[in-house]
Amino acid sequence: MQDFNYHTHTYRCGHASGDDEEYILAAIKAGYKTLGFADHAPYKDYPLPSSHMDISMFDEYVDSISILKEKYKDQIDIKIGLESEYYKANHDERVMLHDRLDYLILGQHFLDPEASVSFFKNNSEEEILEYGKLVCEALDTGLFMYLAHPDVFMSKQENFTKACVDVARMIASKCVDLDIPVELNVHNVRKGKHLISNKEEYFYPNKSFWTIMSEYPIKVLLGIDAHKPEDLLDFDAIEKSLNEVSDLNLNFITKPLI
């Protein structure tokens, strides 16, 4: 099993539970050597308590993880990061946050910072293509250590369309060009499979999407996307995710990125 995970949330995002130390204890029990916290990044001008932490929580978040990093330094390597969307208007804000962190990961859940348009629905061809463009523009900034759940736009998607194919190739090409890893996210397998283009598949990790990605020499890592401490002990979700792509010969990373 991969012994590092950089995708761990906290209660501060409004849709996760458990305190910071509980996540660390669960990670140690699960056998992880490195645990990275990457809660949903705050936005100064766009508070959204159910989707990401408030900007007022950021200092306490860094302080809390820093204290625990020292406390458990002999048992596990703790890293402090954020999972962030990319919006051109907020780029400077992301740079400022990055300077106080070990890393940022890109998780593009929304088209705009007010979260009025999300990718957790049956998307239009235009929205799918906009997702691909935003992701590629974000990766070009050099701010992000890796791309989380690249197939998140498949959420509630009824068909794997031409736009889905185009975006998969767009993202794969960009990640190869920039040597940026892509995450196989295990979170959504708990919701089971759905009928997509007359095939039973997970929304993500989506087999049709990853079949295209496997045509490129991309680097892949697992992301637990933990929203409660016990997620770090959910080996069944990991097994199901890996089984879904077991025939694709993906290039999994075996050593921590940082």
Q: pLDDT digit string (tens) for 79-131? A: 999 999 998 877 777 778 888 899 999 999 988 877 666 788 889 999 999 99
Q: Using CA atoms, how far apart are residues 101 and 39, in angstroms rounded to an integer?
A: 12
Q: What is the pLDDT of residue 116?
A: 66
Residue 69 belongs to some domain of the structure: yes
Residue 223 belongs to some domain of the structure: yes
Q: pLDDT digit string (tens) for 56-65? A: 999 999 999 9
Residue 258 belongs to some domain of the structure: no
Q: What is the pLDDT of residue 119?
A: 80
What does R_g of the chain's alpha carbons equal in angstroms? 17
Burial pattern 117-138, b for ≥16 Cβ within 10 A else e, equals ebbeeebeeebbbbbbebbbeb
Range of the domain at 236: 4-252
* pLDDT above 80 for 136: yes
Q: Using CA atoms, how far apart are residues 58 and 179, in angstroms rounded to an integer?
A: 30
Residue 100 belongs to some domain of the structure: yes
Q: What is the pLDDT of residue 218?
A: 97
Q: pLDDT digit string (tens) for 179-233? A: 999 999 999 999 999 999 999 999 999 999 999 999 999 999 999 999 999 999 9
Residue 39 belongs to some domain of the structure: yes
Residue 160 belongs to some domain of the structure: yes
Percent above pLDDT 90 for the chain: 85
Q: What is the pLDDT of residue 126?
A: 95
Residue found by looking up tokens 């910071």 in the block: 20
Q: What is the pLDDT of residue 228?
A: 98
Q: What is the pLDDT of residue 120?
A: 81
Residue 257 belongs to some domain of the structure: no
Residue 200 belongs to some domain of the structure: yes
Q: What is the pLDDT of residue 112?
A: 80
Counting the structural domains of the chain, the total is: 1
Among left, alpha and beta (phi > 0; psi -120 to 50; other), residue 65 is alpha
Considering the chain, what is the average pLDDT of its residues?
Answer: 94
State the CATH number of the domain containing residue 177: 3.20.20.140
Percent above pLDDT 70 for the chain: 99
Q: What is the pTM of this model?
A: 0.95
